[in-house]
C-alpha cells in the first residue's frame, strides 16, 4: 500500500511533480510493482488527481473515506475489509524504492521467530555525527534479536563517553504489518511518547507490540524538496543510459583455488574448516566414475557425508535441481556444510545450482536470468574432470527450464573453492576432449570479437586463445602438457567472459540444445562450423583443428525440423539479448532477425 496525500507541508503537490516524464507517485507505484514481491499494489489517496493519474497509468488506486493524520491510518482504513496477511507500506515519495530493502523487510516473516513479530521495519547504519544528532533523522535502538527497543529524534543511546564504539541506526519508513497490528494501530489512541516525538511507530511499542528491524544499507532518494527532485531526475537519466548488460559490472571471482598435479589429495584438509557439526558434505559426481574405485576411494567421505552419482548424458535441467534439493532436504535435518561437484561442465553447473537452491525458496526456474538470486548459496566447491567449459570459474550455471535454456547468473553462483588437478582429466574420450576444448576456443573468439570487450577480458581471452591454438595445432605437444595447458585455457576463457559475453555460436547452440537436446560442446562446434560470415578467420582455424584431429561433425541435423520446432529454436536463440548485443552491437536487432536465423539453422 502506498499512502499518498496530495498536500505536503514542505513541498506541496510533490507527488504529482514530473520525474522523467511521469509523476513521482506513478514512478513509485511502478517501482513497487516491478519488485514482483507483492500479490497486489495500491495507492491510497485523498486526492482525485492522484487517483485518476494512477488509474490512467493502468494502476490500482483507492480513495480514502476519512481524513487521516498519517499514512499508517490511511492504509489501515483501506485494508480493513481486505483478505490479507501482510501489508507493506511504501512511501509515496520514494520513487527509487529498491527490491532489496522491501525483500529484507518481508524476509523477517520467514524466520523462526516469525510468530512473535507484529510488524517489521527497516534501519540503516549511520556514522556521521551530524546525522546522528539531526532531529529529522529518526534513530532506533534494538535488542540482541533486532527487536526495536525505542525510536527517537535524539541520539540514542546517548554516548556519555564520546569514544564508545556504538553503531547508530537510522529508521527508514518502510513497514510490513500483520493485518491485525495495523488495525490495532488505527483503533488505539495516540500515546504520549508518540505525540512528544512525533514518530508514529512509537505507538506500537507503547501498546506492547513487537517490531522486528531488518538492516538495509541501500540508499534511496526521498523527494522532500525541489532540490531532491532535480537530483532524482538526474539519477533517472543516468539509469536510462545503462546498456542492458552493464559493462562496468562489479563481479565476484572464485576466492580460493588450488592448482597442481595431484592436489585433489588436499581436499580433506580444504573442507575440514568448512564442516559444520552435524551437517554433511554432499558430493555430486559424474557417473562415469561410478566404477572408478581409485577415484571414489580418494573422496574424503566422513560421518554422514553423501555421494550422489549423476549422469551427464543430458544437460542439467531446473527440474533435476529441484528434485536433488528436495531429496537432500528430506534426508538431512541440517543444511549441508557444502556441495562438491566433481565432473564436467554439467556436473559443476548442477553443483552450483543445488547450492543456490538450498538457501533460496521456490523452484530453480524462477532464478534463470540475471541477478535474481536473493540469498547467499551454501558453500560450494568445483572440481573439474574435463577442461574447456569454464564452468569452474563462471558466474553462471546454465540450466534448461520449462520455458528457456538460461543460466542462473548471480554474484552467489561462483564456487567458493576450486580444485584444479590436471591429473583428473586423464582418460577423457577424444571427441569429448575436442568438443569441450572447442567450447573454450569459441568462448575466446566470441569474447575477443565482441563489442563488450575491454582490456580486462582481452588479457584473459588472448591467453586462452593462444593456449588453445597450441593445444589443438601443435602436434609436438605431449598429452600431459596439453592437459595442463587446457585446464588453464579453460580458466582464462571463463574469466574472459566474466567481464564480457559469448556470442552468435552460443546463442544458436542454446537453441539446438533446447529443441534437440544437442550437448553444449558439440552444439557449439556444429554451429561454429557455419559461422564463416561472423568469425571468418577463426572459423577457418577451427576447420583446420577439426581436420588435424580427424573430427567429423554431424550434418543436416535441422533439416527435418517441424515449423514449430524451428520457431522455438529461433525464439530461444533470439531471447539471449546480451549475447547478441555483445556479438553485433547495441543495434543488433537491425542485423539479425527470425528469418535470417532460420536460414542459418536450415544450413546446419
Ligand atoms: Fe560455452
- What is the per-residue pLDDT across 502-560, written as a single tens digit (0 to 9) for each? 999 999 999 999 999 999 999 999 999 999 999 999 999 999 999 999 999 999 999 88
Question: Angle CA(217)–CA(222)–CA(225) in degrees, nearest 5?
Answer: 145
Main-chain phi, psi angles of 326, to 5 degrees: -65, -45
Separation of CA 42 and ligand 1 centre (Å): 44
And the C-alpha cell for 10?
514542505
Mean pLDDT of the chain: 90
Separation of CA 507 and ligand 1 centre (Å): 10
Beta-carbon contacts of residue 250 (< 8 Å; ≥ 6 apart): none
How far apart CA 427 and CA 437 sit, in angstroms, is 14
Separation of CA 577 and ligand 1 centre (Å): 16
The alpha-carbon radius of gyration of the chain (Å, integer) is 28
Across-strand partners of 152?
139
Tell me which H or E stretch contains 119: strand 119-126
Separation of CA 497 and ligand 1 centre (Å): 10
And the C-alpha cell for 169?
541506526
Main-chain phi, psi angles of 270, to 5 degrees: -70, -40
Separation of CA 159 and ligand 1 centre (Å): 57
Closest of 80, 314, 296 to residue 186, by C-alpha: 80
Q: What is the pLDDT of residue 532?
A: 95
Separation of CA 325 and ligand 1 centre (Å): 25
- Per-residue burial over 471-503, b = 16 or more CB atoms within 10 Å of its CB, e = otherwise: bbeeeeeeeeebbbbbbbbbbbbbbbbbbbbbb
Separation of CA 506 and ligand 1 centre (Å): 6
Q: What is the pLDDT of residue 479?
A: 92
Q: Which residues of the chain have pLDDT under 70?
A: 9-10, 219-220, 238-247
Q: What is the pLDDT of residue 244?
A: 45
Q: Are strands 61-63 and 43-45 parallel, antiparallel or unpaired?
A: parallel
Separation of CA 385 and ligand 1 centre (Å): 16
Question: Angle CA(395)–CA(401)–CA(407) in degrees, nearest 5?
Answer: 10
Separation of CA 60 and ligand 1 centre (Å): 44
Separation of CA 306 and ligand 1 centre (Å): 29
Separation of CA 440 and ligand 1 centre (Å): 7
Q: What is the pLDDT of residue 168?
A: 92
Residue pair 526/473 in contact (Cβ under 8 Å)? The answer is no
Q: What is the pLDDT of residue 276?
A: 87
Q: What is the pLDDT of residue 242?
A: 46
Q: What is the pLDDT of residue 219?
A: 66
Collapsing DSSP states into helix, strand and coil, what is residue 517?
A: coil
Q: What is the DSSP letter of 170?
A: E
Separation of CA 347 and ligand 1 centre (Å): 14
Counting beta carbons within 10 angstroms of the beta carbon of residue 296, is it exposed (0 to 12), middle (13 to 18) or buried (19 or more)?
A: middle
pTM: 0.62
How far apart CA 593 and CA 77 sit, in angstroms, is 52
Collapsing DSSP states into helix, strand and coil, what is residue 535?
A: coil
Separation of CA 344 and ligand 1 centre (Å): 12
Separation of CA 195 and ligand 1 centre (Å): 63
Beta-carbon contacts of residue 434 (< 8 Å; ≥ 6 apart): 472, 525, 545, 546, 549, 551
Separation of CA 390 and ligand 1 centre (Å): 7
Collapsing DSSP states into helix, strand and coil, what is residue 18?
A: strand
Q: What is the pLDDT of residue 238?
A: 66
Separation of CA 460 and ligand 1 centre (Å): 16
How far apart CA 458 and CA 464 sit, in angstroms, is 10
Grid cell 575436442 is found at: 434
Amino acid at each position: 500500500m502506498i499512502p499518498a496525500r496530495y498536500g505536503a507541508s514542505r513541498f506541496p503537490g510533490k507527488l504529482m511533480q514530473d520525474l522523467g516524464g511521469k509523476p513521482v507517485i506513478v514512478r513509485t507505484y511502478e517501482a513497487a510493482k516491478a519488485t514482483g514481491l507483492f500479490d497486489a499494489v495500491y495507492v491510497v489517496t485523498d486526492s482525485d488527481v492522484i487517483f485518476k493519474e494512477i488509474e490512467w497509468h493502468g494502476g490500482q488506486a483507492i480513495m480514502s473515506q476519512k481524513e487521516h493524520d498519517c499514512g499508517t491510518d490511511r492504509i489501515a482504513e483501506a485494508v480493513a475489509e481486505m483478505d490479507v496477511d501482510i501489508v507493506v507500506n511504501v512511501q509515496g515519495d520514494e520513487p527509487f524504492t529498491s527490491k532489496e530493502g522491501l525483500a529484507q523487510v518481508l524476509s523477517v516473516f520467514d524466520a523462526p521467530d516469525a510468530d512473535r513479530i507484529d510488524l517489521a521495519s527497516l534501519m540503516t547504519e549511520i556514522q556521521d555525527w551530524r546525522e546522528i544528532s539531526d532531529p529529522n533523522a529518526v534513530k532506533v535502538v534494538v535488542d540482541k534479536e533486532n527487536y526495536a527497543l525505542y525510536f527517537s529524534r535524539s541520539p540514542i543511546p546517548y554516548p556519555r563517553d564520546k569514544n564508545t564504539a556504538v553503531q547508530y541506526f537510522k529508521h527508514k519508513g518502510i513497514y510490513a504489518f500483520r493485518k491485525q497490528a495495523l488495525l490495532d494501530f488505527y483503533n488505539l489512541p495516540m500515546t504520549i511518547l508518540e505525540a512528544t516525538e512525533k514518530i508514529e511507530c512509537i505507538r506500537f511499542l507503547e501498546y506492547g507490540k513487537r517490531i522486528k528491524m531488518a538492516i538495509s544499507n541501500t540508499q534511496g532518494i526521498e523527494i522532500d524538496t525541489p532540490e531532491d527532485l532535480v537530483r532524482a531526475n538526474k539519477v533517472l537519466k543516468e539509469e536510462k543510459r545503462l546498456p542492458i548488460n552493464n559493462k562496468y559490472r562489479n563481479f565476484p571471482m572464485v576466492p580460493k583455488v588450488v592448482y597442481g598435479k595431484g592436489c585433489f589429495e588436499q581436499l580433506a584438509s580444504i573442507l575440514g574448516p568448512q564442516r559444520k557439526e552435524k551437517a554433511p558434505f554432499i558430493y555430486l559426481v559424474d557417473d562415469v566414475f561410478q566404477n572408478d574405485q581409485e577415484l571414489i576411494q580418494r573422496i574424503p567421505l566422513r560421518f554422514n557425508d553423501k555421494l550422489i552419482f549423476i549422469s551427464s548424458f543430458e544437460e542439467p535441467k531446473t527440474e533435476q535441481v529441484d528434485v536433488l534439493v528436495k531429496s537432500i532436504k528430506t534426508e538431512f535435518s541440517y543444511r549441508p556444510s557444502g556441495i562438491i561437484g566433481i565432473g564436467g561442465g554439467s556436473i559443476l553447473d548442477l553443483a552450483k545450482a543445488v547450492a543456490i537452491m538450498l538457501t533460496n525458496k521456490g523452484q530453480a526456474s524462477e532464478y534463470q536470468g540475471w541477478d535474481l538470486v536473493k540469498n547467499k548459496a551454501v558453500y560450494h566447491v568445483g572440481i573439474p574432470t574435463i577442461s574447456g567449459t569454464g564452468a569452474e570459474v563462471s558466474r553462471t550455471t546454465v540450466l534448461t527450464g520449462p520455458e528457456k535454456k538460461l543460466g542462473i547468473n548471480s554474484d552467489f553462483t561462483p564456487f567458493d573453492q576450486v580444485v584444479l588437478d590436471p591429473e583428473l582429466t586423464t582418460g577423457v574420450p577424444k571427441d569429448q576432449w575436442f568438443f569441450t576444448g572447442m567450447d573454450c576456443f569459441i568462448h575466446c573468439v566470441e569474447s575477443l570479437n565482441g563489442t563488450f570487450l575491454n582490456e580486462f577480458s582481452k588479457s584473459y581471452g588472448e591467453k586462452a586463445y593462444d593456449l588453445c591454438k597450441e593445444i589443438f595445432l601443435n602436434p609436438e605437444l605431449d598429452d600431459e602438457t596439453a592437459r595442463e595447458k587446457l585446464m588453464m585455457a579453460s580458466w582464462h576463457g571463463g574469466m574472459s567472459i566474466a567481464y564480457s559475453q559469448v556470442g552468435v555460436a552460443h546463442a544458436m547452440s542454446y537453441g539446438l540444445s533446447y529443441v534437440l537436446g544437442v550437448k553444449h560442446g558439440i552444439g557449439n562446434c556444429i554451429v561454429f562450423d557455419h559461422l564463416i560470415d561472423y568469425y571468418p578467420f577463426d572459423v577457418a582455424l577451427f576447420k583446420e583443428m577439426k581436420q588435424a584431429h580427424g573430427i567429423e561433425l554431424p550434418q543436416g541435423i535441422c533439416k527435418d525440423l517441424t515449423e514449430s520446432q524451428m520457431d522455438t529454436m529461433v525464439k530461444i536463440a533470439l531471447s539471449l539479448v546480451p549475447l547478441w548485443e555483445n556479438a553485433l552491437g547495441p543495434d543488433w536487432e537491425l542485423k539479425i532477425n527470425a528469418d535470417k536465423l532460420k536460414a542459418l539453422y536450415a544450413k546446419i
